[in-house]
Homo-oligomer: A and B are copies of this chain.
Amino acid sequence: MAEQEIGPGGEFLAELRAVLRVDQVSVDGGDLQTFAIDQGPVTDFQLPLAVVWAESVEQVQSVVRAAASHKVSLVTRGAGTGVSGGAHATAGCVVLNLTRMNHILEINPADEIARVEPGVINGDLNTAIAAHGLMFAPDPASYKISTIGGNIATNAGGLRCAKYGVTRDAVLSLDVVMADGSLITTGHRTFKGVAGYDLTSLFVGSEGTLGIVVGATVRLKYLPTIVRTLAVFFPSVQQAAAGVLALGAARVQPCILELMDGQALEELDFRNGSNLSQRGTALLLIQFDGLAAEAEEAVAAVELEKLGGTVSREDPEEARRLVDLRRNNRGLDVDAENRVGEDVAVPRSQLVHYITALGEMAVRHGVDLQVIAHAGDGNLHPTFSVPTFEPAGIAALNAALDESVAKALELGGTITGEHGIGQYKLRWLPLEQAEDVLELQRRIKELFDPQGILNPGKAIPARP
């Protein structure tokens, strides 16, 4: 590393060490490696100058003030379970780790809200509030290890979104440290509130590029006491996708509606010793909850049998096992250059057509494909892969990815339903959003962060 790069970082670190304990600042090589990346594909690996664990709002403010005065970039992260590289280190940055700010500050069952620090684990909050008959609805597959702060930074989705909404819908108020180290509070404790511009929504999903979320008031939902689960196997993935539309047409609202194609079922079987792929070529895993669950399940069973589905009512234990299998379908694998899980969404009427087109693309480019979808909201996670990092294979993979993204856009879709742009998807954002919309966002970024020290090079592409 060139000396002029060490200089500012060195002064910055000296300043931090004056206000933080020894165990809060690390330049250990192992730590730098560990916290250099999240679970997104890595295309430009960079080691951070240091990793800093803040433990309070005041400490975050101190870190940001020091970073601002030395013009050091900050990449803020939680558990690092993001899959778009939003928390990848950038050149000359310091990683600001908020996982130690993990206190649930308040649970108010009557107001149906909780106040949390950003490092609180999604699953831990849910465990704590379940006793009150409440839940925090956003449930990314990583919910057992991902932080609420990370959920907010990426506007995380999950399986329950179609019925219960995404993270944005669950956030009422935020405490945010701005790029100059000042602390602001947005939003309100009440369910409704329209005072001023919606700054809260602007921060949600902004991937740490506009400010650093150091506290959140979230709205909780009722934890359903009744749950009914259907596993419906179809002879083809197209029939399963048609089933999604049939449920919509019947006007029933599952809390979970997951589609898995044959390749996805085979991989699940291989990982878990299950026999799903012997039961059909595609699976709709459907859950209804609440006092209407039984009635909705009955409607769904009739509609899906009409379409050729084999309907199996699953008992609670098997239901839990199936949903867990689905949530953990990625296993311990993280995305890499030779295996990329996409995250497009299309209007639901286009699901059948899009899934057919994906299959054709995979064949044409000679890459492997499996499709899993949060089908209830049209959000698909096709995973393209090639066996090795051999350049021709990677090129074929990228061609298939590009085509799959272009096709989703052609059908009225988006390049990212819930994973975020991060660093990896920057290349596709100009295909979805016009230059004037990108420029407006760049100007908002400059307004909030004039020196460009907050997670630079993420979320929105640089000026061309």
Is B205 a contact of A349 with CB atoms below 8 Å? no
Is B440 a contact of A184 with CB atoms below 8 Å? yes
Is B417 a contact of A192 with CB atoms below 8 Å? yes
Assess whether A189 is interfacial by the CB under 8 Å rule. Answer: yes
**Complex CA distance for A346 and B378, rounded to whole angstroms:** 36
**Complex CA distance for A189 and B202, rounded to whole angstroms:** 19
Contact with B along A235-264 (1 / 0, CB 8 A): 000000000010011011100000000000
Q: A184-B434, A194-B419 are in contact. Are A189 and B459 (CB under 8 A)?
A: no
**Complex CA distance for A444 and B50, rounded to whole angstroms:** 33
**Complex CA distance for A425 and B19, rounded to whole angstroms:** 43
Is A222 a contact of B251 with CB atoms below 8 Å? yes
Chain B residue numbers with a CB within 8 Å of A329 are none
A230–chain B nearest beta-carbon distance, Å: 16
A23–chain B nearest beta-carbon distance, Å: 33
Interface centre among A110, A133, A295 (most CB of B within 10 A): A110
Assess whether A270 is interfacial by the CB under 8 Å rule. Answer: no
Interface centre among A197, A206, A443 (most CB of B within 10 A): A197
Is B248 a contact of A201 with CB atoms below 8 Å? no
Chain B residue numbers with a CB within 8 Å of A198 are 155, 168, 198, 201-202, 204-206
**Complex CA distance for A211 and B222, rounded to whole angstroms:** 37
A177–chain B nearest beta-carbon distance, Å: 12
Chain B residue numbers with a CB within 8 Å of A195 are 414-416, 421, 425, 429, 432-433
Q: A169-B165, A251-B133, A437-B185 are in contact. Are A414 and B108 (CB under 8 A)?
A: no
Chain B residue numbers with a CB within 8 Å of A193 are 345, 414, 416-417
Interface residues on A, range: 35 or more
Within 8 A of B (CB), among A194-241: 194-199, 201-202, 204-206, 210, 222-223, 225
Q: A190-B377, A378-B190 are in contact. Are A199 and B345 (CB under 8 A)?
A: no
Chain B residue numbers with a CB within 8 Å of A155 are 194, 198
Is B379 a contact of A190 with CB atoms below 8 Å? yes
Interface centre among A111, A204, A379, A443 (most CB of B within 10 A): A111
| Chain B residue with the shortest CB-CB distance to A293 | B292
Is A190 a contact of B447 with CB atoms below 8 Å? no
Chain B residue numbers with a CB within 8 Å of A417 are 190, 192-194
Assess whether A347 is interfacial by the CB under 8 Å rule. Answer: yes
**Complex CA distance for A83 and B319, rounded to whole angstroms:** 50
Known contacts A192-B378, A197-B206; can you find 19 more A-B pairs with CB under 8 A?
A110-B245, A113-B347, A157-B194, A162-B191, A165-B165, A189-B413, A191-B378, A191-B379, A193-B417, A194-B205, A195-B416, A195-B433, A196-B459, A198-B204, A198-B206, A222-B251, A223-B251, A252-B291, A444-B444
